[in-house]
Structure 1
Amino acid sequence: MLTYTVQEDGLTIDQLLQTKWKLGKKLIHELRMQKAVTDQDGELLQWKLPQQKGNVLNFKWEAESSKYLPSDQIPLYVAYEDDYILIVSKPRGVATHPNEQGQNHTLMNTVSHYLQSKGHQYGEHVHRIDEGTKGLVVVAKNPIVKGMLDRMIEQKEIVRTYEAIVEGQMKSNHGTIRAAIGTDRHHPTRRRVSPSGQLAITHYEVVGRDEQFTKVHAILETGRTHQIRVHLAHLGHPIVGDDLYGAKKSPTKTYELHAFKVQFKHPITGQMIIAEDKR
């Protein structure tokens, strides 16, 4: 169930779902057919009737459960949680979600186990990070919030900050990398800067230096596969340990990229959420 307090006079339920929350037509149809919206006394509400500020709307419906096989094989670090959203930290070497049927060693298998232990049957990630990257992943705890967070990702309203340690001394203390990224026909998983690729924009700021390495904070304006890895390597400063993009091999076979912070305005409460991975 989801509870929402109306924030402005005159807004109808139709307008709330379609215009303000921008939910998909299929989900809106399901809510309508299941008569999912009631007031705080449990009375059904008319969707075209203007609501008053302060009115409490309850959304209760039979939602499809998530299909991940629950597993507790991966330790779960929770950076933030409320009734609607879960933000967890993915370890290096773990995939965000299964890529084949029966797979149960991913972050979302662990998230599913955690949520089911608390009585939730739904949990879906709204973005992912590379298997070799550690850090924060945002999970929606019901389909309505999932639709809202999906829109926020598309409109760049969820800011994710990464920390990378790169080889060498970067010349500029800050900058923006605008370089399209496409597939590399010589390698099945590698990406490369290519004029025929997809637009990719990364903003970066140097936050630390020593003789051999530079520590950088990076924010994605677009979300291409391996974007930060490709862009920093394109500048001549691959991420430490990222031998796929030209860095020296690491003894641990890992690379130094951490999605350490995420911030956004909560789609339900309107509060600013700032979560950091302190591991």
Structure 2
Amino acid sequence: MVRIFPAADAAADPLLRRARALLAGNGGSYATAWPEVLYEDDWCLVLSKPAGLPVHGSGAPPGHGSGGISGAPAGARREGFAPAAAGKRRVGAGDAALAPATLDEAAACLCLAAGDPLLVRHVHRLDDDTSGPVLYTKNDLAQQVLDAAMRDKTIGRIYWAAVQGVPRPSSGVINADIGRDRHHPSRRRVSPGGDHAVTRYQVLDAWGKAALVELELETGRTHQIRVHMSHAGHPLIGDALYGGSTQLLQRQALHGRRLEFRHPWSGLAIAVDCPLPTDMAQLLQHLSGSRG
């Protein structure tokens, strides 16, 4: 018979080896300061990714530049709301070497701490400085089913973003192809020869010079929301790469608010909400106080 949940060799797999070392340094348990579990069962897992923590890295060990903020140790992030207490905090407790350097490592730690040495794999990704829910699978069958759902665009991803100015009309669809910017290796741009990209938006609240916008992706291009909103004349607050001001926030004000998918085994509809991180909640409070 085919085993649906085969155990992985924790000594042979690099990700599980790093996760095992992290757990050993934390007394064998998953630290409360590590990424929050939003949903979990035997088949899949949803973790809340904080801004500044990459989903996956280069394979380097924690604390050795495996995808963290440039110039900062892996596992560190910036609390970006300027009017509040700006500074840095660790994703995990204690030294950066004892905190997961990627969300993948956190997912592996969670399974190992529960006595399940499974090769958990992410179904989708978020930009390093975007917060929100990330979906993981715990076996090959779940991975195949949810990968197919991503291709068929049946996994719903809803985001909240604070943008400069107020979009008009207050709701609509941005249908503009996205390609690489040949003048900047990290940037993308709206380009007639690019990949098909569609974003739906709706203004939830407005404050004269800024607005809170809910966005839903129909496609999943790199930097899609950031590129589309900048192209529409409303760059995200804090998004210096695409023309946003960093006066109030030191990272793009973009948060994955909800993830919707069908369970890979039961087919039941699942919706997972992700609370706003502290820096974005403070930003929205500040903007609301400046209304009028």
State the TM-score, normalizing by the size of structure 2. 0.72
Structure 1 residues 4-51: Cα deviation after superposition (integer angstroms, max 9, x where no partner) = xxxxxxxxxxxxxxxxxxxxxxxxxxxxxxx317xxxxxxxxxxxxxx
* TM-superposed deviation, 1:244: 0.5
2:169 corresponds to which letter in structure 1? Answer: S
Match of 1:203 among 195, 200, 203: 200
* TM-superposed deviation, 1:141: 1.1
8 Å CA contact 1:129–1:137 kept in 2: the answer is yes
Match of 2:108 among 107, 112, 126: 112
1:188 corresponds to which letter in structure 2? Answer: P
1:124-135 matches, cutoff 5 A:
124-135=121-132
8 Å CA contact 1:36–1:60 kept in 2: the answer is no
Matched, 1:176 2:173: yes
Q: 3-state DSSP class of the match of 2:250?
A: coil
8 Å CA contact 1:63–1:143 kept in 2: the answer is no
Q: Which residue of 2 is the match for residue 96 of structure 1?
A: 55
State the 4+ residue runs in structure 1 displaced beyond 3 angstroms.
59-67, 71-74
Which deviates more, 96-105 or 66-75?
66-75
CA distance in 2, matches of 1:61, 1:94: 29
Matched, 1:84 2:43: yes
1:226-237 matches, cutoff 5 A:
226-237=223-234
The RMSD of aligned alpha carbons is 1.9
Structure 1 residues 180-205: Cα deviation after superposition (integer angstroms, max 9, x where no partner) = 11111111101110111111111111
Higher relative contact order (CA 8 A, sep 6+): 2
1:121-270 matches, cutoff 5 A:
121=117, 122-250=119-247, 252-270=249-267
CA distance in 1, matches of 2:238, 2:167: 17
Q: 3-state DSSP class of the match of 1:109?
A: helix
1:264 corresponds to which letter in structure 2? Answer: F
Runs of 5+ consecutive residues of structure 1 not aligned to the other structure: 1-34, 38-58
* TM-superposed deviation, 1:101: 3.3
* TM-superposed deviation, 1:119: 1.8
CA distance in 1, matches of 2:160, 2:248: 20
CA distance in 1, matches of 2:189, 2:245: 18
CA distance in 2, matches of 1:149, 1:167: 35
Which deviates more, 264-273 or 80-89?
264-273
Give the length in aligned residue pairs. Answer: 224
* TM-superposed deviation, 1:166: 0.3
CA distance in 2, matches of 1:82, 1:61: 16
